């Protein structure tokens, strides 16, 4: 009795399944997977064990140059420091830039992976630190090699010039600017389109996601030095205490967010470092703050930075610091908002649906105010439309378990960060190959 009833329910379902188009993975997806199994997995293992800090990606760049040269691309090294540029010419047609960032982070890996990094390196700041690929840039560079190999294998299916770059120092939002300043758009073919992807630990493996507008916020790193007048800790009236003044400043800066910034415009001010003093009973002669500022539009960005300058100076005045010894505010580095080109994004998101399937293309949702220096490649004055997409890096089961109260998924930059390399690289390279074939297809 139960059986016929069950069948009645099952049959329409089967009919539906049969009617739906089979999820056609393109032929090159299997080739990328085979390439991963054969040697790209080992290449990822190598990069994961041997991360290098921003601006110091010397061995990584040399290996990337070797891998890209082996595909037949013309490779130029040391562009903007350790940057690598590989040009693949294949007849007339558009120029498409593919960017992968190469740097690791000063983090001691505790991911539990069998190929955990034990590397240490002296950074540009002169300080030795443990190093880890704690943002997944190792998957990006292997993905670029995978894409290069596939494009060479399918030269009959596209026409034009692909410019592939291994970019240094993304984590210091400095490498893109350095490569442009070193002639990326003048010494090499200037792109008609610029593409990049980033693995994302909050997205399930096998998925991609791209915004038709803002993909990443702007970011500015600001140093504030608060001068003081040193004194004995028991005689505060004889000095000017910079710890006290800088503490007021830390609080006052948050007033910019809550009382000055329009509430419907996103923005963040975070004081990430506060250093002052040497000992219990000495009033220091200065305090140093390191601040990050995020925004989603240039007006808010400029307003926040101007307000930080004004509030810093006036907190100094409030405490009686003389005009020539007010807090000094310096913008050390910054990057604009990373915006995707809306028309290009609609076009390529449709290609992602065709290539990976409807469910694999997740609607974009900006969850944090993370930043990216890819923004420099697609600034309006270059007239280079950009498409930047996220690629899932965590198995769905792990995300579901975390949502059900299980172990949390470690965030990017955490010592526990780990992504599933194979699906990230295979999906990223498949998606990137699909995008290039669309933009460069033979007429």
Contacts with Zn ion, residue ranges (CB under 5 A): 135
Q: Which is nearer to Zn ion, 201 or 349 (CB)?
A: 201
- Residue 411 DSSP symbol: P
Q: Is 22 helix (H, G, I), strand (E, B) or coil?
A: coil
Nearer to Zn ion, 136 or 316 (CB): 136
Active site residue 223: no
At its nearest, how many Å lie between Zn ion and the CB of residue 439? 24
User: Judged by CB, which is closer to Zn ion: 135, or 437?
Assistant: 135
CA distances from 18 to 10, 11, 12, 25, 397 (A): 12, 11, 10, 17, 27
CA-closest candidate to residue 198, choices 338, 49, 341, 350: 338
Contact 227, 242 (CB under 8 A): yes
Cβ 140 to Zn ion shortest distance, Å = 8
Comparing CA positions, the residue from 436, 435, 431 lying closest to residue 143 is 431
Report the relative pairing of strands 120-122 and 208-209 from DSSP bridges: unpaired
Rank residues 121 and 225 by Cβ distance to Zn ion and give the closer one.
121
Active site residue 170: yes
Catalytic residue of the set 57, 103, 220, 241: 103
Separation of alpha carbons 151 and 28, rounded Å:
9
**Closest distance to Zn ion from the beta carbon of 135 (Å):** 3
Q: At CA 33, angle to CA 430 and CA 29, rounded to 5?
A: 35
Q: What is the spatial distance between Cα 177 and Cα 71, in angstroms, rounded to a whole number? A: 27
Percentages (nearest 5) of helix, strand, coil residues in the chain: 40, 25, 35
Least Å distance, CB 200 to Zn ion, is 10
Residue 80, phi-psi category: left (phi > 0), alpha (psi -120 to 50), beta (remainder):
left
Q: Measured from the CB of residue 199, what is the shortest distance to Zn ion in angstroms?
A: 8
d(CA 220, CA 81): 21
> Minimum distance from CB of 219 to Zn ion (Å)?
11
Cβ nearer to Zn ion, comparing 135 with 174: 135
Please pick, among 109, 170, 220, 241, the residue that the annotation labels catalytic: 170
Q: How far is the CB of 412 from Zn ion (least distance, A)?
A: 5
Least separation in angstroms between CB 119 and Zn ion: 17
Judged on CB neighbours under 10 Å (0-12, 13-18, 19+), 234 is exposed
Of 354 and 368, CB closest to Zn ion: 368
Number of C-beta neighbours around residue 17 at 10 A: 9
> Which is nearer to Zn ion, 107 or 135 (by Cβ)?
135
**Minimum distance of Zn ion from residue 430's CB (angstroms):** 20
Nearest of 123, 146, 127, 124 to residue 44 by alpha carbon: 146
Q: How many CB atoms lie within 10 A of CB 59?
A: 14
Q: Look up residue 223 and give its two tokens.
A: 């140093």
* Inter-axis angle of helices 342-356 and 421-439, nearest 10: 120
Q: Which residue is nearest to Zn ion (CB)?
A: 135
DSSP assignments along 186-255, one per residue: TTSPPPSEEEEEEEEEEEETT-EE--SSEEEBEEEEEEEEEE-B-EETT-GGGSB-HHHHHHHHHHHHHH
Relative to beta strand 286-295, strand 267-276 is: antiparallel
Crossing angle for the helix pair 421-439 and 137-153, to the nearest 10 degrees: 50
Query: Which residues carry out catalysis?
Result: 103, 170
């Amino acid at each position: 009795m139960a059986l016929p009833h069950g069948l009645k329910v099952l049959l329409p379902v089967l009919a539906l399944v049969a009617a739906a188009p089979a999820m056609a993975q393109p032929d090159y997806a299997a080739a990328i997977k085979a390439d991963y199994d054969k040697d790209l997995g080992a290449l990822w293992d190598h990069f994961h064990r041997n991360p290098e800090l921003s601006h110091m990606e010397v061995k990584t760049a040399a290996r990337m140059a070797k891998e890209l040269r082996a595909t037949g691309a013309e490779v130029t090294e040391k562009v903007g420091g350790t940057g690598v540029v590989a040009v693949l010419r294949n007849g007339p047609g558009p120029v498409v830039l593919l960017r992968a960032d190469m740097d690791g982070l000063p983090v001691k890996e505790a991911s539990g992976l069998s190929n955990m990094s034990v590397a240490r390196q002296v950074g540009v700041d002169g300080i030795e630190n443990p190093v880890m690929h704690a943002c997944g840039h190792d998957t990006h560079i292997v993905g670029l090699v995978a894409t290069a190999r596939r494009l060479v294998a399918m030269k009959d299916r596209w026409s034009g010039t692909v410019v592939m770059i291994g970019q240094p120092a993304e984590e210091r939002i400095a490498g893109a600017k350095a490569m442009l300043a070193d002639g990326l758009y003048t010494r090499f073919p200037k792109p008609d389109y610029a593409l990049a992807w980033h693995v994302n630990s909050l997205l399930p493996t096998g998925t991609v996601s791209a915004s038709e507008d803002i993909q990443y916020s702007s970011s500015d790193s600001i140093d504030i030095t608060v001068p003081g007048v040193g004194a004995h800790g028991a005689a505060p009236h004889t000095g000017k205490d910079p710890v006290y003044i800088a503490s007021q400043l830390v609080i006052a800066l948050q007033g910019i967010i809550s009382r000055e910034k329009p509430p419907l415009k996103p923005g963040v001010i975070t004081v990430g470092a506060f250093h002052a003093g040497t000992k219990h009973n000495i009033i220091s002669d200065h305090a140093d703050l390191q601040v990050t500022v995020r925004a989603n539009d240039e007006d808010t960005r400029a307003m926040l930075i101007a307000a930080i300058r004004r509030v810093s100076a006036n907190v100094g005045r409030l405490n009686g610091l003389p005009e020539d010894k007010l807090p000094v505010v310096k913008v050390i580095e910054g990057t604009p908002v990373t915006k995707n080109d809306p028309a290009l994004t609609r076009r390529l998101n449709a290609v992602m649906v065709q290539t990976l399937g409807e469910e694999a293309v997740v609607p974009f949702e900006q969850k944090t105010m993370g930043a990216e220096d890819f923004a420099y490649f697609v600034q309006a004055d270059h007239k280079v439309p950009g498409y930047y997409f996220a690629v899932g890096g965590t198995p769905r089961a792990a995300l579901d378990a975390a949502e059900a109260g299980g172990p949390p998924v470690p965030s990017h930059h955490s010592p526990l960060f780990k992504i599933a390399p194979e699906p990230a690289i295979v999906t990223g390279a498949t998606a990137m190959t699909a995008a290039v074939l669309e933009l460069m297809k033979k007429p």
